[in-house]
Amino acid sequence: MRFDIITLFPELFAPLLTSGITRRAYEAGLVDVHLWNPRDHAEGNYRRVDDRSFGGGPGMVMMAEPLFKCLSAIRDDRREAEPAPLVLFSPIGQALNHTAVAQWSASAGAVLLCGRYEGVDQRFIDQYVDQQISLGDFVLSGGEIAAMALLDALARLQPGVLNDEGSHQLDSFNPSLDGLLDSPHYTRPEVWQGHAVPPELMSGHHAHIERWRREQSLSLTAIHRPELLEQARQLGKLSRQDESSLQRLKANMTQVAQPSPKKKL
C-alpha cells in the first residue's frame, strides 16, 4: 500500500520511518510512504502557502492553490486508474478506532493531508477532500502527529512486522478480544517491591490462565470503558460465564462502595 503525505514539515516523519519495530513495514515497502511539501508547489520568492483569513480573526489559513498543485503532482506520480482518497485530519472528522485502522491496513493506501495554522481553505476541502479523521476531542498544532498515529497503527498489522505474528491479535479493541480491553501483563521478577505476580499466571494451567485473563479483560472494560462491554454484549460476544463474572464484579464493587456502619458510643 502507498501513503502520500502532504506536510509542511516532512522532517518530522524521519524518526517514525527509521525507528522501532514498525520500521520493518517501511523498509520492506509493505507501507510505502512518500512525503510532499506544498511549499515546493507555491509561487513567488517566499513560496507562500498561507494567508490571512477573510473576515478577520487570529491565525493564518493554508491556501488552496499550493495544495491543489501538490495534489496534482501526487496524482501524476501515483498514476492510478482509481484515485486514492484524500484524507484530512481535522476536529470534525470521524474518530479513529481499531476497525478503521484495520480497514486502512488492508487498503491500497491514501493521500494524507496534514493541516497547519487555523486550517485549510474550505474551498479546497469541499472540492477535493474525500474523508476527514480525528484522533479525539482536542486540537494539535498540525496533522502530522495524527498521520503518524495512523501509519504506526496500520504498519504493525502488516504480516512480518511484529516478532510474534499473533501479537496484535491480543491488543485492546481487537476482534479476537471481542473489542474489549486487554488484560494486565507481568514479567520478571516474580516479586517486585513486595508485590507478587498473580498466582493464576504462575500456575502453568493454561485454561485457568486464559480464564483469569478473560475476567481481567471484562473487569477493566467494565470499569474504564463500559460502552465497549455493551457493544460486545449486543453483538452476542459475551458467554454465560462472562456474564456470571460480571455479576460477581458488580456485587463486589457494590459491597466496596457501601459505607461501613458507624460504631455506637
Question: Which one of 15, 40, 47, 91 is the catalytic residue?
Answer: 91
Nearest of 72, 78, 77 to residue 124 by alpha carbon = 72
Question: Which one of 171, 182, 198, 200 is the catalytic residue?
Answer: 171
Could you tell me if residue 41 is left (phi over 0), alpha (psi between -120 and 50 degrees) or otherwise beta? alpha
8 A C-beta contact, residue 20 and residue 36: no
- State the residue for C-alpha cell 514479567: 187
The CA distances from residue 195 to 12, 183, 188, 210, in Å, are 41, 18, 12, 22
8 A C-beta contact, residue 115 and residue 90: yes
User: Within 13 Å and on the Cβ side, how many CA atoms surround 154?
Assistant: 27
Nearest of 221, 214, 223, 263 to residue 241 by alpha carbon = 214
User: Within 13 Å and on the Cβ side, how many CA atoms surround 106?
Assistant: 5
- State the residue for C-alpha cell 479483560: 217
Question: In degrees rounded to 5, what are phi and psi of residue 243?
Answer: -65, -35
8 A C-beta contact, residue 225 and residue 187: no
Indicate if 156 belongs to the active site.
yes
Question: Which one of 50, 66, 144, 156 is the catalytic residue?
Answer: 156
Indicate if 27 belongs to the active site.
no
Question: Which one of 23, 48, 85, 118 is the catalytic residue?
Answer: 118
Name the 3-class secondary structure at 134: strand
8 A C-beta contact, residue 2 and residue 32: yes
List residues with catalytic annotation.
91, 118, 156, 171
